[in-house]
A and B are shown apart, each in its own frame.
Chain A
Amino acid sequence: MPGLRLRRPATDVVELAALSGRAGDLERIAAGRGTTLPAFGHALLKADRAAVCVRPARWLLLGPPAAPGASAAAWADACAGRGVAVDLSSGIVALDLAGPAVREVLARGCRLDLDPSIFPPGRAAATVMAQVSVILVATRAGVLLLTPSTTARHFGEWLEHTAAPFGIERAAALPFLSGDPHE
């Protein structure tokens, strides 16, 4: 059994940022659109979308791929005057890590304490690994990792190199998240 199963789900990413004092408004607008915005340091994962909060009053919304820019435009319209929505679908790459060695592999680059008692499923954090910015979301099966696209290949090479002693299994494409819904 491989220690690490590595999948790369295709996602749309929209960054939603509240204007001053408008975070509550965005939460209501999002609720109206069927999305709950999580508290800072948390993520809400469903089968086909996710919301992650690792910056104050800012959320990354992950969803199934659509026409480039379409979801951001829809969010921007809905939040006009209260928040800003920017498309980052091309700027961020998602890696879905599962398997028994996930935390051991990540400990070789991640300075954060990922012990389940500290970082249980549903927690999220922004940090730096292999000299690259990453956002980590604890899932039941492992970790959903978001990283900038221009360094994603470099990060992937580092990850595969680091995980090699534990055994690694790659799944080429994935419709979206790994079927790890919880809320």
Chain B
Amino acid sequence: MTGPARIANGLLTDPDRPVGFRFDGRSFLGQHGDTLASALLANGVRLVGRSFKYHRPRGVVTAGPEEPAALVEVVGPGGREPNRPATTLPLGEGLVAASQHRWPTLTFDLLSINGVFSRFLPAGFYYKTFMAPGWAWERLYEPLIRRAAGLGRLQPVAGAQAAPAETIHDHADVLVVGAGAAGLAAAHRLGTLGLRVILAEQDEVLGGGALQDARWDTWRAQMDARLRRLGSVRCLTRTCVVGAYEHGVFAALETLTPAETAAFGGLRERFRIIRAQRVLLTTGAIERLIAFAHNDLPGVMQAGAALSYLRRYGVAVGRRPAFFVNNDEAYEAAIALHAAGVEPIVVIDARAESRAAERARAQGLDVHGGAVVQEARGRGRVRAVRIVDRDGRSRELEADCLLVSGGHSPWTALASQSGASLRWDESIAAFTPALDAASGCVAGAARGCFGLARAAADGDAAARALAAGLGRSAVAVAVDPALALPEDAEVTPIAPLWEVRGRGPAFVDLQNDVTTDDVRLAHREGYEHVEHMKRFTTHGMATDQGRIGGLVGSAVLALARGLPVAQVGQPRPRPYLQPLPFAALAGSDVGAHFKPKRRLPLHDAHAAAGATFVAVGLWLRPLVYSTETGWGPVLKEARRVRRSAGVTDVSSLGKIDVQGPGAARFLDFVYANTISTLAVGRARYGIMLREDGMLFDDGTVARLGAEHFILTTTTANGAAALEHLEFHLQACCPELDVVLTDVGDQWAQFAVAGPRAREIVAAVVPGIDLANEAFPFMAAAAATIAGLAGRLFRISFSGELAYELAVPAGEATGAWRAVLEAGRPFEIAPYGLDALNTLRIEKGHVTGAELNGNTSADDLGFGRLLKKQGDFIGRTLSRRPGLAAPDRLQLVGVRPLDRTKRLRNGAQLVAPGAAGTGLGYVTSSTPCVLEDGWFGLALLAGGRQRIGQRLHAVAATHGEQIEVEIASPHRLDPKNTRVHS
């Protein structure tokens, strides 16, 4: 036996495997199978933390995830992790845990003075008190409050890797939530009827309430074995369903065993997204507290928890327990503790008489009928309870713990989230849910069917009904004698009891320190609706979501309002029903997998050539073929293009193959300029508008056949442009017979640009006469490129004589090498995205900075491209008067007068000496390739009328102001002699 309170062998613990752990610096021994809470209780540790607002001493209250008080920090090599309920934290060898919200130590907490003055800190205190002066918030109040409050703390870990996480997608005919008597019976029935079932159980073992009763051990074991044999049922233990969503989608968090964690590289939790045709909620009921003075004292626990600690871990939570109950179910704990040798036991029952009281007295327990507990007494732990007897006399009884049961509330959170309506059931003094049959159903204690045998029968019936709804009718199955259910005891109904008024705070929410007085204050201040009361007091807003006290708060509010609880209702707990690490939600979409990386077909060739890559959207593109920073290497690449030749990879452009009898008409509709007049073997610059008249995208359209076009889009809009075309083809032009194919990944494409481009391309495309007359600017043709079936376009984005060569991506390396080889006499070299930008800015070509969604065709100087005849997307709204306003931002060039001054993107253009707002801003800028100084493109109000004016470019973030001249955006070769050469 480990620890003074370990009086028996537990179902889950192994006395032969002691486990060492540390709590708040002290060393303890527990047993394999313990939770931190059971091990601490076994060692007689009662005080495990302090509350977050008043810093009141707190102990373990429950034995499960509903725990409101025993939240601890786990200290590991990866840092500190706060707010782990000790009641579900498995005791691993070497576990180091610490209490929270104490300063400086747990037993001597300076901030517990908050508790002494607690009558000055009621609900809403923060809203009302720290109002003025305004400056005090930041400098005084907030630091003080932060020092004193907060639910635990995160300790940043320098350099540590994010914890691994993963998401699993699951599917089932039926998701059964909760593996108690009802859930086990239901899953078994559904499985035998051939339905695919996921049985999710938050506990580490199956059984739920059936674990509490030794008479059910055989049934449990048999069920467990049968379910494991059924291939159609998957039992997921340690899996908490944390949210229910529309259309049968559920979120669940699975906690891995240490062995699984080791096998999965340190993975601790799995986020599961479960899609189920139907859900069967057998989530059981949660024992609720009763509000009385100091009902948060360490040693005040839930009665059912005492039974759990005894059954599961062999731990007696006290040697001289007092029970405070109003229902028969709670007696099971008292009788079991008594049978285990704990005595004397006294039961204070609010009801005068009951069947359970008779049974308890027969076994020698002391039962005070018609009595209530008014106050738990003791400093730091329970020493005695003050009771009021049936005749109204008040007296004190010695006790070392007080085990409370105010009844059992069906755990309706998932049902509510699934759209269930709640109905008040007076016989159990709680709300029960009813689910729409199309979603599923609720069974067992979760709908108020208490008693294990009743619950199991209810689960089975629910399963049959669900199966029938899914088209699997139950064949008559003979009752298996081995699976006979132990009988439920006869019970006397509960007498509702929510609060015993007395002197001292009576808590309804232990985690958020909300008392019954706070609830009444909320009512007095007008926060009458239960959802308003919740937000005013924060009742139920802590991580336990008010599982054990939620309904009690509603009842106190109901009493204050003079209404039945049924009319007041209870707040709906929202997802997630359990604290969830962000890492679990992120799943594997982190680090290198945060978003897909698109690599160019020639990625490895670029890397081998020394490229520095830059992420552009999803793409990795060569920025410059150098590891040197600065403009030097960029301008070297650009000068080579202007003077001789360069080659750049433009494979990231979107490419869409358009074929069919309706292709030309469709392209006339989606492009603002006319495409149908394009001759086969020719290409055209094309612009697409959105329906609101703004520019959407630009690119080239080449006609390869009468009914065959190939489009390019900008790199950024590749996917969006395809969707734009698919949407409009299907929504607006279903009569057009057109086939759209995304060929973006199929073709590698590179541009050979510069005065010597023709000679180089001629060498790799021998079959085509490249003479200007034979293959003029904007020609397009199928071509054999370096021996490959490819396509040749005479297109330029650099302002130079240029060709774009397209080859199948899988064969691109050979063609790329052939170009470099053919260009060797001309000192050809690849150029990156920076040089490409430099070249296009000088030529006045626009990209994303100018195609920003707010610019019209006319703004960018494309007004003349808009066709006069025929409908196209954006036609009507591109002609609205507002877009013709003279002060529209129009594309212009910007040249600093001082050739040594740098022009910056984003610099505001202002009139000299004029205060107030700018007239526009610089969108793109670059040092000039062959001359001194900078040049940029800008969007400028009434810009075309301002060409020749002098303005100031103000880069406020850099503290710079320079004088600039407004010019044509086409600085290089405005007459296009180079591209036509």
Contact = CB atoms under 8 A, between A and B. Distances in A.
Contact of B598 (A68, A88, A113, A151): A151
A87 B746 contact: yes
Contacts of B601: 90, 149-150
Interface stretch (A30-38, A135-143, A156-164, A170-178): A156-164
A85 to B, nearest CB: 9
B170 interface: yes
Given A130-B596, A132-B596, A90 B196 contact: no
Interface in B575-602: 588-589, 592-593, 595-601
Interface in B172-231: 196
Nearest to A58: B739
A11 to B, nearest CB: 11
A15 B657 CA distance: 12
A90 B264 contact: no
Contacts of B2: none
Given A91-B746, A151-B598, A68 B739 contact: no
Contacts of B808: 68-69, 87, 89-90
B599 A150 contact: yes
Interface stretch (B161-169, B302-310, B564-572): B161-169
Contacts of A84: 659-660, 739, 741
A56 B133 CA distance: 68
Contact of B599 (A89, A154, A164): A154
B263 interface: yes
A110 interface: yes
A69 B660 contact: no
B588 A17 contact: no
Contacts of B746: 86-91, 149
Contact of B745 (A17, A91, A108, A115): A91
Nearest to B263: A165
Interface in A36-87: 67-70, 73, 83-84, 86-87
Interface string B42-83: 000000000000000000000000000000000000000000
Interface in B588-639: 588-589, 592-593, 595-601, 618
Q: What is the predominant secondary structure among interface residues of chain B facing chain A?
A: mixed
B588 A19 contact: no
A37 B618 CA distance: 35
Given A17-B741, A107-B169, A151 B596 contact: yes
Interface in A12-26: 15, 17, 19-20
Contacts of A148: 745
Contacts of A158: 588, 593
Given A20-B737, A131-B596, A150-B745, A91 B809 contact: yes
A153 interface: yes
B744 interface: yes
B811 A68 contact: yes
Contacts of A149: 601, 745-746, 809-810
Interface in B130-183: 166-171
Contact of B741 (A86, A90, A131): A86
A130 B593 contact: yes
B716 interface: no
Contact of A113 (B171, B595, B744, B810): B171
A87 B710 CA distance: 13
Interface in B239-274: 263-265, 273
B588 A117 contact: no
A15 B168 contact: no
A109 interface: yes
Given A68-B789, A84-B660, A158-B588, A91 B598 contact: no
Contacts of B167: 108-109
B166 A91 contact: no
B170 A107 contact: yes
A158 B589 CA distance: 9
Nearest to A83: B739
B885 to A, nearest CB: 42
Interface string B280-291: 000000000000
A158 B588 CA distance: 9
Contacts of A91: 742-747, 809
Contacts of A83: 739
Interface string B721-762: 000000000000000010101111111100000000000000
B661 interface: yes
Nearest to A19: B737
B171 A161 contact: no
Contacts of A92: 745
Given A69-B808, A86-B743, A131 B597 contact: no
Interface in A117-142: 117-118, 130-132
Nearest to A111: B169
Contacts of A132: 596
Given A69-B789, A113-B171, A19 B661 contact: yes
A114 to B, nearest CB: 9
**Across chains A and B, which 10 residue pairs bring their CB atoms closest together, nearest first?**
A91-B746, A91-B745, A113-B171, A90-B809, A90-B810, A90-B808, A69-B789, A150-B598, A84-B739, A20-B737
Interface of A: 15, 17, 19-20, 67-70, 73, 83-84, 86-92, 107-113, 115, 117-118, 130-132, 148-151, 153-155, 157-158, 161-162, 164-165
6 contacts: A19-B737, A88-B741, A91-B746, A130-B588, A148-B745, A154-B599
